[in-house]
A = this chain, B = another copy of it.
Amino acid sequence: MDVTAYVRALGEKARSASRAMARTATDDKNRALFGVAEALDAARAALASANDEDLARGRDKGLEPALLDRLELTPARIDNMIEGLHQVAALPDPVGEITDMNYRPSGIQVGRMRVPLGVVGIIYESRPNVTVEAASLCLKSGNATILRGGSEAAASNQAIAACIQRGLRRSGVDEHAVQVVETTDRAVVDALVTMAEYVDVIVPRGGKGLIERISRQARVPVIKHLDGNCHVYIDDQADADKALAIAVNAKTQRYGVCNAMETLLIAESRVAELMPELAGVFVGAGVELRACERTLAAVKAAGFDCKPATEEDWYAEYLGPVLAIRAVSGLSEAIEHINRYGSQHTDAIVTENYSQARRFVREVDSSSVMVNASTRFADGFEYGLGAEIGISTDKIHARGPVGLHGLTSQKYIVLGEGHVRQ
């Protein structure tokens, strides 16, 4: 198989479908979303058997239990995919929104209209439900999309793709608006991320290795989501109860997620008072602590186990039950630490002081900056975007959770009555 020719053909069809999608009415896009939902519901048996095939192959290959779990399409997960399609249909259509329309001194009216990006390439790993999530967001935002899932989920993805095609055809939307790559050849990715004439943006969803590899290769813009090295800073004027609740929630509510806290910063004036209780809760939850000299002494004095932290710990995204802890002299040192070691993902301050909160919000250079709230809130659903295609750690185009708006751009529109430039 000539992979380059195959991907080019996908690209050509996607480009042409993207023109049609850009002018597709909201109603028709919603009808397509409902159509896909119905097709999924009607294909539960086929989905289950395709998924069984993937799971059996995965077990034979000795995939880890966590990976097998992500691969599984349980009836509840199929329900979730259907529910997700209904939710995206219920979201307002971002395309065509006109803003900032003003008369200029020359007499022309100038404003901006929200438009689709065009063709979005999505490259993801094992979870087959991403196929539906990504397709639905791209459809609603008027883009054509090329989806390239992981080889472990190949059969499941093709079964889902068949449902998507059925839904599109039934609703009269261009069936090439969503194309699922049929081969698991890795050369597809190389072709997709370098085909600037047919692909407007690449959204990789997966581990850091995948995203770094794609970013290096790409000749097409990439909306990327790298590390989530998130901090909670307990200020010298923090409310003790809020500090405890937020620090514990940010670390222990879920471990393997990008918006979990990885380093706890604490004003040195509060170490003696707060560290014993904090350490007790963390150790009780099975969290391994790695602390700076000042906090280490306080944790050990309270009778809990703790390792000394090294420079590498400040950079680490553990994605697990490990926490780095560091005492800082105050707000300035906290901000400096975050901007230096952090990954510009999500960082929070706990404080009752108005000026400290205001400064933290202004000066911390992260995609989400929080006051008295858990970093775990950094999420498209929690922010009211309805759904998210990913969380961007880039500064260009979109920062933080990326929803429908992140899959669009704005063009200028100018209205005149025969106006010419002098």
> How many identical chains are in the complex?
2
- Cα A412 to Cα B110 with chains together (Å): 28
Report yes or no: B108 in contact with A221, Cβ–Cβ below 8 A.
Answer: no
A420 contact set on B, CB distance < 8 A: 245-246, 248-250, 253, 373-374, 376
Report yes or no: A368 in contact with B413, Cβ–Cβ below 8 A.
Answer: yes
Report yes or no: B201 in contact with A372, Cβ–Cβ below 8 A.
Answer: no
Confirm or deny: A419 has a beta carbon within 8 angstroms of a beta carbon on chain B.
Answer: yes
Confirm or deny: A339 has a beta carbon within 8 angstroms of a beta carbon on chain B.
Answer: yes
Confirm or deny: A242 has a beta carbon within 8 angstroms of a beta carbon on chain B.
Answer: yes
- Cα A416 to Cα B250 with chains together (Å): 14
A230 to chain B, nearest CB (A): 12
- Cα A282 to Cα B18 with chains together (Å): 37
Confirm or deny: A421 has a beta carbon within 8 angstroms of a beta carbon on chain B.
Answer: yes
Confirm or deny: A307 has a beta carbon within 8 angstroms of a beta carbon on chain B.
Answer: no
A126 to chain B, nearest CB (A): 25
Report yes or no: B395 in contact with A399, Cβ–Cβ below 8 A.
Answer: no
Confirm or deny: A312 has a beta carbon within 8 angstroms of a beta carbon on chain B.
Answer: no
Report yes or no: B23 in contact with A373, Cβ–Cβ below 8 A.
Answer: no
A350 contact set on B, CB distance < 8 A: 418
Confirm or deny: A59 has a beta carbon within 8 angstroms of a beta carbon on chain B.
Answer: no
Report yes or no: B110 in contact with A383, Cβ–Cβ below 8 A.
Answer: yes
CB within 8 Å of B: which A338-372 residues: 339, 348, 350, 361-363, 365-372
Residue of B at shortest CB range from A376? B421
Report yes or no: A382 in contact with B421, Cβ–Cβ below 8 A.
Answer: yes
Report yes or no: A396 in contact with B409, Cβ–Cβ below 8 A.
Answer: yes
Interface-central residue, A245, A253, A369, by most chain B CB under 10 Å: A369
A44 contact set on B, CB distance < 8 A: none
Confirm or deny: A311 has a beta carbon within 8 angstroms of a beta carbon on chain B.
Answer: no
Q: A394-405 vs B: 1/0 string, CB under 8 Å?
A: 111101110000
Confirm or deny: A378 has a beta carbon within 8 angstroms of a beta carbon on chain B.
Answer: yes
Report yes or no: A414 in contact with B377, Cβ–Cβ below 8 A.
Answer: yes
Report yes or no: A384 in contact with B221, Cβ–Cβ below 8 A.
Answer: no
A101 to chain B, nearest CB (A): 11
28 inter-chain pairs at a CB distance below 8 angstroms, sorted by A residue, are A19-B365, A22-B362, A22-B363, A23-B362, A104-B382, A104-B383, A106-B377, A110-B384, A113-B361, A118-B395, A221-B394, A221-B396, A242-B417, A246-B419, A246-B420, A253-B421, A350-B418, A369-B414, A371-B414, A371-B416, A372-B415, A373-B415, A373-B420, A377-B421, A378-B412, A396-B396, A399-B409, A399-B412
